[in-house]
């Protein structure tokens, strides 16, 4: 892997950039691998990278139906934080946050990880108390968190209106300073390039159409580009997890919903951090290009169309204008939708399955992006060892049978 640096940029600049090589090869699938990862999104590519790097498993392939990063990886609002309420969630998201911190240098790809801070606003006393409880829960789990009163919120993020006579006054906020945003495409390409350099085959335009099993053990996958033999198949296909699991006859506690987002036209720096409001139900940050990136909640119904209802967008815009009235002179430039897998307890599934050699990583709901490196890291470990480690174990499928849910949705956290 030729190193990216300012030196290589200057060298190539002087010779017309003719020397740059493919960031990743685009191989045809081979007839057999030690493991096949279905899904070339963030979690899938991270899984492959850590399988190769941490477990020495390099004869593996990532099979992507379209182009890598084309699913939820390319459709999220790229918010990073780990201030979850429950111990189990905090563990995996904080594991991810730790990995995010050095990831750009590790992958030698600038993922533009910007730890600019995430504010969760409190609009009434009750919400304030809940958020403070979350702060302490976070601290007990080693997750950095602090409370800002209204004036401190104003000084941290001047665009926020802290007047008391508005519909949703801001009484204070939690701040996770190490939270922030990054550049989602760069993460994809960085992981792809690094995994490829370790020998992983990243196969695009190759859709899995079936999974072969014998005596309850995975033996291979059928794809639109031929059959592949493998003893291990890992589904990392959030949005379509149910479809892939259905190929081995598994039904999962997952429903697929649209989740929409949009961007404004670019403006000069206005929003210095990530702003999230559960009561007003909107979240917003500003990209390095200057666009406001705005998200809201999921559409209530199941759909795979990668688009959602207008009323969600209308409410989202009203929410943003209510929260930051100055944005009323901005324009929406583009809107889109992704498909999120939602579990009943709003926590993911990272699990072995009743089919030996078939592993599932999905059900991340609206919180998948921020977990990417942590998810890939523990999932690689699960695939390599066929046993979940302490971080992954609470997210096994069995929890729905035992009732040991990780009920983040009941925890009043904004789920993004």
Partner 1 sequence: MSGYRLSDGGLTDRGTTLRFSFDGTAMSGHSGDTIASALLANGVRIVGRSFKYHRPRGLWGAWVEDPNGIVDVAWNGRTTPNLRATTEPLINGQEVRSVNAAPTAAGDRWRKLDLVSRFLPAGFYYKTFMWPRWERYEPRIRALAGLGRLDPGHEPAADCAQVNARCDLLVVGAGPAGLAAARAAAARGETVLLVDDQDAPGGALRWRGGTIAGSDWRDWAEDAVSTIKAAGGRVLFRTTAYGVYDHGLVCAWRRREAGPDQLWRIRPGRTLLAAGAIERPLTFADNDRPGVMSADAALRYLRLYAVVAGRRIAVATNNDAAYPVAAALAQAGADVSVLDSRDDSLAMAECALAVERNTLPSAALGQEDLTGVLAGDLRLEADTLLVSGGWTPTIHLWRHAGGGLRYDERLAAFLPEGGMPAMRVAGAANGAFGLAAALADGHAAGGDDGPAPPVGEGHASYAIRPAWPDPAGSGRAWIDQQSDVTVKDVALAAREGFRSVEHLKRYTTLGMATDQGKTSNMAGLAAMASITGRAIPEVGTTTFRPPYVPVPLPVIAGRRRGQLFNPPKRLELEGRHREAVAGLREYGGWLRPSWYGADGAAAIDAEARAARRAVGLLDASPLGKIEVIGPDAAALLDFECYNRVSTLKVGRARYVLMLTEAGIVYDDGVVMRLAEDRFIVSCSSAHVAGVRMRLEEWRQDRFDPARVFIHDATAHWATIAATGPKSRDLLEATLPALPRQALDLAHMAVTETALDDAPLRIARVSFTGERSYELSVPQSAAAALWDRLTAGLATLGGCRLGLEALLILRAEKGYPIIGKDTDGLTMPHDLGMTGPMKKREDEFAGRRALFTPQARGADRRQLVGLAVDESAEPLPTGAHGYAPSGGRRRSIGYVTSSYLSPELGRPIALALIENGRERLGERIPLVHLDATFEAMVTSPVAYDPAGMRLDA
Partner 2 sequence: MFLIPCPYCGERDQSEFAYAYQAHVHRPKDPDRLTDKEWADFVFIRDNPKGVFAERWIHAAGCRRYFNLMRNTATDEILAVYRIDEPQPKVEPALPATPSGEAPIGSGNDAVKVVKPAERGS
Under the binding rule (CB under 8 A), the answer on residue 142 touching partner 1 is: yes
Site residue total, partner 1 (CB under 8 A): 108
* CB of 302 vs partner 2, minimal distance in Å: 5
Give the CA distances from residue 136 to residues 96, 139, 143, 409, in Å, rounded to whole numbers and listed in that order. Answer: 20, 5, 9, 18
Residue 121: beta bridge partners?
173, 277
Query: With contact defined as beta carbons under 8 Å apart, do 412 and 126 qualify?
Result: no
Site residue total, partner 2 (CB under 8 A): 36
By a kind-dependent CB cut-off of 5 to 8 A, residue 219 interacts, out of partner 1, partner 2, none, with none
Q: Going residue by residue from 148 to 187, which x/- string records binding to partner 2, judged by CB under 8 A?
A: ----------------------------------------
Judged by CB under 8 A, the stretch of 31-39, 179-187, 238-246, 351-359 that binds partner 1 is 179-187
Judged by CB under 8 A, the stretch of 22-30, 212-220, 247-255, 362-370 that binds partner 1 is 22-30
Q: How far is Cα 172 from Cα 156, in angstroms, rounded to an integer? A: 11
Could you give the angle at which helices 184-197 and 42-55 cross, rounded to 10 degrees?
Answer: 30
What are the two backbone dihedrals, phi and then psi, of residue 218, each rounded to the nearest 5 degrees?
-65, 140
Under the binding rule (CB under 8 A), the answer on residue 410 touching partner 2 is: no
**By C-beta, is 244 or 330 nearer to partner 1?**
330
Query: With contact defined as beta carbons under 8 Å apart, do 353 and 360 qualify?
Result: yes
Of 76, 83, 204, 353, the one binding partner 1 by CB under 8 A: 204
Tell which positions 147-176 bind partner 1, by CB under 8 A: 147, 158-159, 166-168
Q: Going residue by residue from 248 to 277, which x/- string records binding to partner 1, judged by CB under 8 A?
A: ----------------xxxxxxx-------
Q: Going residue by residue from 79 to 118, which x/- string records binding to partner 1, judged by CB under 8 A?
A: --------x----------------xx--xxxxxxxxx--
Q: Going residue by residue from 330 to 369, which x/- string records binding to partner 2, judged by CB under 8 A?
A: ------x-------x-------------------------
Closest by Cα among 267, 276, 286 to 323: 276
Tell which positions 239-258 bind partner 2, by CB under 8 A: 240, 242-244, 247, 251-256
Tell which positions 331-370 bind partner 1, by CB under 8 A: 331-336, 344-345
First to last CA, the chain: 34
* Helix ranges, 83-236 (H): 87-107, 125-140, 150-156, 184-197
Instruction: Provide the CA 257 distance to its chain's centre, in angstroms.
Output: 16
**By C-beta, is 97 or 208 nearer to partner 2?**
208
Q: How far is Cα 236 from Cα 35, in angstroms, rounded to an integer? A: 13
Paired tokens of 12 = 């190539």
- Give the largest Cα separation in the chain, rounded: 67
Q: How far is Cα 127 from Cα 130, in angstroms, rounded to an integer? A: 5
Under the binding rule (CB under 8 A), the answer on residue 309 touching partner 1 is: yes
Query: With contact defined as beta carbons under 8 Å apart, do 52 and 59 qualify?
Result: no
- 257: burial class by Cβ within 10 Å (0-12, 13-18, 19+)? buried
Of 164, 215, 251, 289, the one binding partner 1 by CB under 8 A: 289
**By C-beta, is 15 or 401 nearer to partner 2?**
401
């Amino acid at each position: 892997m030729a190193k990216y640096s300012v030196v290589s940029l200057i060298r190539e600049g002087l010779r017309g950039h003719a020397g740059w090589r493919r960031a990743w090869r685009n191989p045809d699938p081979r007839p057999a691998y030690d493991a096949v990862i279905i899904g070339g999104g963030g979690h899938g590519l991270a899984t492959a990278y850590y399988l190769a790097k941490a477990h020495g498993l390099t004869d593996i392939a990532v099979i992507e139906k379209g182009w890598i990063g084309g699913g939820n990886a390319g459709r999220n609002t790229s918010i990073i934080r780990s201030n979850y309420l429950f111990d189990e969630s905090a563990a995996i998201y904080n594991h991810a946050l730790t990995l995010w911190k050095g990831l750009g240098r590790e992958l030698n790809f600038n993922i533009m990880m910007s730890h600019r801070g995430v504010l969760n606003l409190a609009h009434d006393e009750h919400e304030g108390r809940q958020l403070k409880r979350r702060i302490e829960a976070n601290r007990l789990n080693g997750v950095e968190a602090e409370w800002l009163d209204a004036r401190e919120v104003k000084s941290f993020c001047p665009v926020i209106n802290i007047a008391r006579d508005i519909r949703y006054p801001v009484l204070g906020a939690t701040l996770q300073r190490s939270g922030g945003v990054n550049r989602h495409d760069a993460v994809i390409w960085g992981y792809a390039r690094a995994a490829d350099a370790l020998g992983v085959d990243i196969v695009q335009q190759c859709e899995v159409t079936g999974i072969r099993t014998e005596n309850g053990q995975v033996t291979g996958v059928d794809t639109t580009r031929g059959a592949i033999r493998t003893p291990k198949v890992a589904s990392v296909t959030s949005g379509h997890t149910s479809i892939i699991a259905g190929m081995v006859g598994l039904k999962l506690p997952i429903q697929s919903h649209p989740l929409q987002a949009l961007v404004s036209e670019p403006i000069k720096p206005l929003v210095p951090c990530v702003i999230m409001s559960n009561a007003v139900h909107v979240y917003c940050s500003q990209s390095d290009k200057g666009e406001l990136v705005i998200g809201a909640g999921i559409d209530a119904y199941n759909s795979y169309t990668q688009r959602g209802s207008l009323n969600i967008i209308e409410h989202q815009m009203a929410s943003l204008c209510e929260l930051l009235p100055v944005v009323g002179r901005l324009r929406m430039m583009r809107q889109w939708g992704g498909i999120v897998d939602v579990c009943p307890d709003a926590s993911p599934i990272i699990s072995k399955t009743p089919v030996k050699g078939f592993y599932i990583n999905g059900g991340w709901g609206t919180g998948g992006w921020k977990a990417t490196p942590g998810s890939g890291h523990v999932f690689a470990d699960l695939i390599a060892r066929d046993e979940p480690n302490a971080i992954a174990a609470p997210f096994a499928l069995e929890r729905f049978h035992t009732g040991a849910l990780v009920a983040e949705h009941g925890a009043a956290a904004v789920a993004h």
